[in-house]
Amino acid sequence: MQKNKKTGIGRIIFGVLLLGVLALAAVFAYNHYALNENFKETFYQVGSGKIVDDLRVIQISDLHDNEYGEGNEKLLSRIGELTPDIIMLTGDIVDRESADTQKAVALCGKLAEIAPVYYVYGNHETIRAFGYNDMSLPELDQLTGCTEETRSSEPLHAMTDDLKTALEAVGVNVLWNEYETLEIGGTQIDVYGVLTDDPFAFWEYAEDTYVEFCDENRDHLKLMLCHRPYIYETWYGGAWSDLTMAGHTHGGQARIPYIGGVYEYRNGLLPEFGGNRCYVAGKYDVNGSPLVVSTGLAGDDWFRINNQPELVVIDVSRY
């Protein structure tokens, strides 16, 4: 009798486990074959009184050398159809494991033929360029030879990198804690790119140029690019820019309806659930200004469930 009961419980547990495994297999198969092989488009609309004509910004993030079609043909053709005014690449376009950067440089060159392209480094680019993943304060001090008294963005501007040189050669603007001004349809736009996106390192190595970016030409539309969104989670001093774009989080890898991302590198498990209000995926209001965090375009090499790779399209209008 005892044995029979045990056998019954064992069968139930086995059955439940088997069903669970089957369910997971079904979900994986669906994500692998149906979702992660293609990208979706996510449209946002933000308002700014500083623009003359409507402006379309396309954000590409965390591609990790992934390809959509031969030579990213599908991605390029879709971007062309969406007629962007400006294209923003928010880091991790190349992957640290890739043998070379040719794929990314070729893509950027073709993007530059469509619209002005701005590029900020993500942690995968910084590992390749400087050997550091986090670009933390001690790492940056070591890299630049700065001390507490001499930290500024200047030593970063003096540095060079093969990828940066190659990107600039194909007409891409690579921003390392600096900003550039451009004019599109009568609208003056300042684009700031963050290289030191560690919350502690940012203020030490970017404050000089960032303050200038904010204070000069206040009538210009201010766009900010930053690979990791962590600096926005730790600063409550006011609006950062008119529109900020970030990536890195991959949307928390797997997304559960109502709960959000499952795991994020810095914020751990369930970063959007309960009291956790981390910036993982979507559009957020940060001190009154919009922050868009892309889930990225990395495909199936990166563990993704219910989290289709996305191409972000942001329309900036006057209202």
Instruction: Provide the residue type at 132 as one letter.
Output: Y
Q: Does 8 contact another protein by CB under 8 A?
A: yes
Q: Does 318 contact another protein by CB under 8 A?
A: yes
State the DSSP H helix or E strand holding residue 76, giving kind and residue range, or none if neither.
helix 73-81
- Tell me the window of 12-20, 93-101, 145-153, 177-185 that interacts with another protein (CB under 8 A): 12-20
Contact pick of 31, 36, 42, 187 for another protein (by CB under 8 A): 42
Q: Does 239 contact another protein by CB under 8 A?
A: no
SS3 175: coil
Contact pick of 67, 154, 180, 315 for another protein (by CB under 8 A): 315
Least distance from C-beta 75 to another protein, angstroms?
Answer: 14
Q: Which is nearer to another protein, 14 or 131 (by Cβ)?
A: 14
**Contact (Cβ atoms closer than 8 angstroms) between residue 295 and residue 250:** yes
Q: Which is nearer to another protein, 42 or 289 (by Cβ)?
A: 42
Contact pick of 1, 2, 3, 49 for another protein (by CB under 8 A): 49
State the DSSP H helix or E strand holding residue 129, giving kind and residue range, or none if neither.
helix 123-130
Contact pick of 28, 33, 45, 165 for another protein (by CB under 8 A): 45
Least distance from C-beta 43 to another protein, angstroms?
Answer: 5
Contact pick of 102, 142, 234, 317 for another protein (by CB under 8 A): 317
Q: Does 81 contact another protein by CB under 8 A?
A: yes
SS3 136: coil
Q: Does 24 contact another protein by CB under 8 A?
A: no
* Separation between Cα atoms, residue 149 and residue 151, nearest integer Å: 6
Taking every pair of Cα atoms in the chain, the longest distance, rounded to a whole number of angstroms, is 85
Contact pick of 70, 236, 258, 275 for another protein (by CB under 8 A): 258
Q: Does 185 contact another protein by CB under 8 A?
A: no
φ, ψ at 93 (rounded to 5°)? -75, -35
**Contact (Cβ atoms closer than 8 angstroms) between residue 48 and residue 316:** yes
Least distance from C-beta 22 to another protein, angstroms?
Answer: 6
Residue 108 makes CB contacts below 8 A (sequence gap 6+) with: 89, 93, 117, 119, 167, 170, 172
Residues listed for the chain: 319
β-bridge mates for residue 263, sequence order: 269
State the DSSP H helix or E strand holding residue 27, giving kind and residue range, or none if neither.
helix 2-30
Instruction: Provide the residue type at 34 as one letter.
Output: A
Site for another protein in 59-78 (CB under 8 A): 78
**Contact (Cβ atoms closer than 8 angstroms) between residue 32 and residue 254:** no
Contact pick of 33, 37, 40, 287 for another protein (by CB under 8 A): 40
Site size toward another protein (CB under 8 A) is 29
CA 223 to chain centre: 14
Least distance from C-beta 55 to another protein, angstroms?
Answer: 13
Least distance from C-beta 41 to another protein, angstroms?
Answer: 6
* Separation between Cα atoms, residue 205 and residue 196, nearest integer Å: 7
**Site for another protein, rule CB under 8 A:** 8, 11-12, 14-15, 18-19, 22-23, 26, 30, 40-43, 45, 47, 49, 54, 78, 81-83, 257-258, 315, 317-319
